[in-house]
Structure 1
């Protein structure tokens, strides 16, 4: 049922498998076994992904509280023993995971050796849903959780300022004023990434100007376009070790008021593992890239 909820959230078997930290064949096999048990298909398999069947919509509505009840029993057991009895399910957004994981995972293993983790990468909205239904324990995000969602504890980690990346052969006076940038030259991530929204806000790209810009699926793709002279982009400071190593890229500091984001670790308020999650947050604060 947890796998079915993940497929419902993502609309894709592969993305759901990544979120659940299992292989796609294993997840697909379990979904097929669930459908066989139910005697009806839960998902229509499409070329572009999957969608719920009429039976599937009713099934998922009943599965959500069932999974939540299972999580409540799990939490009760963990509260009794005072420690996790399974790996901690840890989610990170795509504009953080490739830059922080090489730093924080060894540190977590060294500082908290009794803990085990399963790691997944997903967008903020999907991770907040996963926290709400109990399929995720903690998430590292870069935006304030919206009101009306699950009751969460937000543990601030550190600020992650933005810089401007341009082609290295382009003359750029520093510090750079975001107001002076040409909107049509700014390259963005595609919709659904909080970093896209933060860039649009920082550069004041409103209305049609925010939709006319190029949209990519990853920062690495955008950086390659910048290196090829196709435009400029904002990059988070934590990404520079990986994304700014190309000599075709130049990095520039921004003029005041400087743009940036605040990274935080979040978890459900009702969890019995709050102290453990605070320990995890403390380790992450001490392993910021570049420190």
Structure 2
């Protein structure tokens, strides 16, 4: 078994086509087919079912592919870790962010990271929490930034910052006259929320009235929620960093949430076998340039990340 063979089966899984997989690996199709066949012979089982088109992994093959992904992930880590020990920070970073963090963090983060670490090839994807966890477990991404805690023993969480929520209320809503809101002041009958699958939806419903009678129309972004409130009355809950996206007139519709304050923790998450400490600190340092200091985790302000 060779690392090259593992790369071949992963390419074949991605393309589900021998010719395209060979092109991806810069080898001929007969070479790739032969190497895949030799690996199957060595393992004593079929990795791919060739009787269907496009080809697909067998049940055993799915498990082999998952392990192959993790092995290559660790090999790549090892090579890049050795470089970092020699004083360099190079290689690649595959990073994911949830949709309710990315609009506020990602544009400035990319600029700061590329300026400070030009030798790192950065790939960022916007994904929901469930998908992020799946891709992290299968070693398809290196790390992610999302709302925590996850209560997942397979994942290590490093808190980055804490963000308050505020209410955005239509002037036509009965609670608009209040200068601040408690959870008891926020009935869900008039509440506009994100669609199922966004962790922010659950966070909002957890500190509002627990009777879930939300509007029948559910939005896919915070910006859409604000526009719905502007036109259709009612109210919504938005993250603190979204305030800068509002006009001065819209900011008049904001109300703080008190007793208790509504806050979310945003963390960097990695697999427990992740070893690139330097790259984690590169991400953290770039985030410290983007997020206001009062929001940052106190430990992140004072200490470097240690694995």
Q: 1:88 Cα shift?
A: 0.5
Q: Which residue of 2 aligns with 1:49?
A: none
8 A contact 2:165–2:263 mirrored in 1: yes
CA deviations on 1:209-266 (whole Å, 9 max, x unpaired) are 2566542222122111111124211000012222x23845621112221101011112
Q: Which residue of 2 aligns with 1:261?
A: 264
8 A contact 1:190–1:217 mirrored in 2: yes
Q: Who wins on radius of gyration, i.e. which is larger?
A: 2
Shift of the 274–213 alpha-carbon distance from structure 1 to 2, 3 Å rule, reads farther
Q: 1:57 Cα shift?
A: 4.8
Distance of 1:175 and 1:200 partners within structure 2 = 18
Residue 124 of structure 2 is aligned with which of 119, 124, 129? 119
Distance of 1:270 and 1:163 partners within structure 2 = 37
In angstroms, what is the RMSD of aligned CA positions?
Answer: 2.9
Query: How many equivalent residue pairs?
Result: 253
The alignment partner of 1:233 has SS state of: strand
The alignment partner of 2:177 has SS state of: coil
Q: 1:173 Cα shift?
A: 1.3
Residue 205 of structure 2 is aligned with which of 200, 205, 209? 200
The residue correspondences of 1:136-215 to structure 2 (distance < 5 A) are 136-148=141-153, 150-152=154-156, 154-168=157-171, 170=173, 171-206=176-211, 209=212, 214-215=217-218
1:228 corresponds to 2:231 = yes
Distance of 2:21 and 2:195 partners within structure 1 = 34
1:239 corresponds to 2:242 = yes
Q: Which runs of 5+ in 2 are unaligned?
A: 1-8, 23-28, 34-47, 295-307
The residue correspondences of 1:9-158 to structure 2 (distance < 5 A) are 30-32=15-17, 33=20, 38=48, 39=50, 40-41=52-53, 55=57, 57-82=59-84, 85-148=90-153, 150-152=154-156, 154-158=157-161
Q: TM-score, normalised by structure 2?
A: 0.72
Distance of 2:165 and 2:203 partners within structure 1 = 10
The alignment partner of 1:215 has SS state of: coil
Q: 1:94 Cα shift?
A: 0.2
Distance of 1:155 and 1:162 partners within structure 2 = 21
Q: TM-score, normalised by structure 1?
A: 0.76
Distance of 1:80 and 1:91 partners within structure 2 = 24
